[in-house]
Chain A
Amino acid sequence: MVQVHEKTVKKADPPEDRVKGMVVYPMAIVARQFVKSLWRPSTILYPFGERLENEDFRKTVKVESGAPIGVGEIWDNYRGVHGLNIKTCISCNLCAFSCPDTCIEMVNTDAGGGKTKKCPEIDYGKCSFCGFCSDACPEGCLTMTPGYTITTNDRAHMVYSPQRLFEVYKAKLSQNPTRIALPENEDVILLDQDLCIGCNACARDCPTKCITMIDIPKPESKPGEKLPKRIWKEPTVNDPECVRCGTCISVCPRECLYWGARK
């Protein structure tokens, strides 16, 4: 017998006698279950889950966490609704990139001061709550909270705009650990210098502004040879600040940036 916990061990086996073992014993168990179900709620039904927000009701079902969106007796590292800190989001697109269900879309969001930026919008109709997005988020601004009250009658209501995710964040729920630490020999962004035209697109779009364009010397043109038509600058990546979002690679018009092993 596998000893799961002490109760399993203490429980007596059903009696060998046929009438006692096959009639009296099961009927007694069922009767005990029935009596239990009279004073202990067997389940908290969904529409009444909202009652968890009621302080008095919470005392009756022993909910300890003071979370406002239907957080019951669940673990702190439960992967529920996402919380998004719009202020620290750098629009790196890594969450949308890592999402296996393609439920994250980067949408224009009011960033304050009349500016807009791209922030994730999550469709919980598609989300599988795998947590890859919050693992990937380099700034720790997209986290998963223990909130689970997502269900509605309207499918469109399942799409959480960045503002709604920000409200979840502001509720100060317990948050999951943020980004997994990068390995030591993480791939870095390398440059094929022959292809680069120095267009500044990578530096312009880098969310962390870790790319700077530095001047390179214009070579002497040999007789009979035509110099390539380009700006004599090339990008340099400040590696400690790079979050490996790959934006630079995707915006490069000449495909001269690529992932490669650190040299």
Chain B
Amino acid sequence: MVETLYSVAHTLVVLLLGLLGPLVPGSGAYGPFLAVWLSYLVVGALVFAVSLVNVLVFIWWERKLLGRFMDRRGAMHVGYAGLLQNLADGLKLFRKQPFSPREADDLGYYFGPTAYLVISIAILGFLPISFGFSGGAVPLSLLVALALFSFAPLFIFIASWSSNNKYSLIGGMRTAAQLVAYEIPLLLSVVAVVALTGSFDLNVIVGDQAANGWFAVPLILGLIIFFIAMLAEVERIPFDLPEAEAELVEGWSTEYGGMLFAFTMLGDYVRALIGSYLIVLLFLGGWSMPWGLSSFPLSGIVFFQLKTYAVFAIFIWVRASLPRVRTDQLLQIGWKRMLPLAMVNIIWALALVVWGYPVIHWPAL
């Protein structure tokens, strides 16, 4: 039904194999097998490229906006308006020697950030950036994405534990506590969205919003809860306790340098990208725009990315404005404020359904 990115890649790969196959005698038997795996490779490479480019733009966007918020200019010398500054920083980190502390557990030390980055990028395979334009258009894509999203504390904890450093360990502990605590309001605010659509398919959710209006209007409370919970989930200021610079040197990534540090940094920004994507997909109508603006070819992707950058701009705005909360305040906000509000939000969504909100995909009761 849904024309996925995979099927496009598959068509291309089959075409390529059809051209190249006759040149290699006896390769016909492996044709279908090769086509499938090469298509997965192409899709994976595309998702990886999209995420990397987006992360570069995110970091540039953050530097420029933070500069403006702080009455300065941000990166501006490398490339046009500093666009290539992040590339230069990445190259510098890439050229550094990988090392591990003497007392560290090497297996976990190298595994932790790598798995953190890989699991973060894997989520992007399930998030469509335009209709059907995702790695795998599974019917439960939202559920899969959120499930993979909650894997991060495990790998962060592995990384912090094997670094064999007090700061890392405290940062890892805090990460675990914070991410587990805020997972609950995050998921509960998603429940309200699912109640209004009756589907876990992100394509369907966006399609419903295109038909009925963005969920940011009826579920404004859910949007606020989801936004705050997402701020905590991606460990950004004011919820950056896991890497509170004043208390813990760099939090759970204290012992990392070179490319491994780049992995942690990249993982953070990929998660911020996923957070922005999810907010746009669930509440801001995804790639749909009113007045048929997104009906032009590829305009859906453009509008989707623009919305994502706008959402991330609010992340940056919050970062530039607010001070870091204390641990007790963090947990109080999570358990005493967000959780009851999320419940109220669910009841409100169910009340909307009962009062006749046009739910399209509910199975017949």
- Docked Cα-Cα span, A137 to B235, in Å, equals 62
B313: nearest residue on chain A (CB-CB)? A34
Asked if B68 and A38 sit within 8 Å, CB to CB, the answer is yes
Asked if A30 and B73 sit within 8 Å, CB to CB, the answer is no
Chain B nearest CB, measured from A80 CB (Å)? 24
8 Å CB contact of A42 from B73, B317, B320: B73
Asked if A37 and B321 sit within 8 Å, CB to CB, the answer is no
8 Å CB contact of B322 from A26, A36, A45: A26
Point out the residues of chain B lying under 8 angstroms from A33, CB to CB. 68-71
Asked if A43 and B69 sit within 8 Å, CB to CB, the answer is no
**Which of A27, A36, A38, A43 counts the most B-chain CB atoms under 10 A from its CB?**
A27
Given contacts A42-B73, A43-B73, A45-B73, A27 and B68 within 8 Å (CB-CB) = no
Asked if B71 and A30 sit within 8 Å, CB to CB, the answer is no
A24: nearest residue on chain B (CB-CB)? B321
8 Å CB contact of B69 from A23, A30, A45: A30
A40: nearest residue on chain B (CB-CB)? B71
Asked if A27 and B318 sit within 8 Å, CB to CB, the answer is yes
Given contacts A22-B322, A22-B323, A27 and B317 within 8 Å (CB-CB) = yes
Asked if B73 and A34 sit within 8 Å, CB to CB, the answer is no
Point out the residues of chain A lying under 8 angstroms from B320, CB to CB. 30
How many residues of A are counted as interface, with CB atoms below 8 angstroms from the partner's CB atoms? 15
Point out the residues of chain A lying under 8 angstroms from B317, CB to CB. 27, 30-31, 34
Compute the total of residue contacts between A and B using a CB distance below 8 Å: 39
Chain A nearest CB, measured from B71 CB (Å)? 4
Cβ of A4 under 8 Å from chain B: no
Cβ of A2 under 8 Å from chain B: no
Cβ of A12 under 8 Å from chain B: no
Cβ of B72 under 8 Å from chain A: yes
**Which of A30, A37, A38, A42 counts the most B-chain CB atoms under 10 A from its CB?**
A30
8 Å CB contact of A26 from B65, B73, B321: B321
How many residues of B are counted as interface, with CB atoms below 8 angstroms from the partner's CB atoms? 14
- Docked Cα-Cα span, A29 to B73, in Å, equals 18
8 Å CB contact of B71 from A22, A23, A37: A37
- Docked Cα-Cα span, A38 to B67, in Å, equals 11
- Docked Cα-Cα span, A43 to B67, in Å, equals 11
A31: nearest residue on chain B (CB-CB)? B317
- Contact residues, A9-68 vs B (CB, 8 A): 22-23, 26-27, 29-31, 33-34, 36-38, 42-43, 45
- Contact residues, B265-301 vs A (CB, 8 A): none
Point out the residues of chain B lying under 8 angstroms from A36, CB to CB. 71
- Docked Cα-Cα span, A54 to B73, in Å, equals 22
Asked if A34 and B323 sit within 8 Å, CB to CB, the answer is no
Asked if B322 and A23 sit within 8 Å, CB to CB, the answer is yes
- Docked Cα-Cα span, A22 to B70, in Å, equals 18
Asked if B72 and A30 sit within 8 Å, CB to CB, the answer is no
- Docked Cα-Cα span, A36 to B70, in Å, equals 11
Chain B nearest CB, measured from A153 CB (Å)? 15
Contact string, B74-92, partner A, CB cutoff 8 A, digits 1/0? Answer: 0010000000000000000
Point out the residues of chain B lying under 8 angstroms from A29, CB to CB. 321
Chain A nearest CB, measured from B323 CB (Å)? 7
Point out the residues of chain A lying under 8 angstroms from B71, CB to CB. 33, 36-37, 42-43
Point out the residues of chain A lying under 8 angstroms from B76, CB to CB. 45
Point out the residues of chain B lying under 8 angstroms from A27, CB to CB. 317-318, 321-322
Point out the residues of chain B lying under 8 angstroms from A42, CB to CB. 68, 71-73
Query: Residues on B close to A: CB < 8 A?
Result: 65, 68-73, 76, 317-318, 320-323
6 tightest A-B CB contacts, nearest first: A27-B321, A26-B321, A30-B321, A42-B71, A37-B68, A30-B320
Could you show 29 A-B contacts with beta carbons less than 8 Å apart?
A: A22-B323, A23-B321, A23-B322, A26-B323, A27-B317, A27-B318, A27-B321, A27-B322, A29-B321, A30-B69, A30-B317, A30-B320, A30-B321, A31-B317, A33-B68, A33-B69, A33-B70, A33-B71, A34-B65, A34-B68, A34-B69, A37-B68, A37-B69, A37-B71, A42-B72, A43-B71, A43-B72, A43-B73, A45-B76
With A30-B320, A36-B71, A45-B73 given, name 12 new contacts (CB 8 A): A22-B322, A22-B323, A23-B321, A23-B322, A26-B323, A27-B317, A27-B321, A34-B68, A37-B68, A37-B71, A38-B68, A42-B72
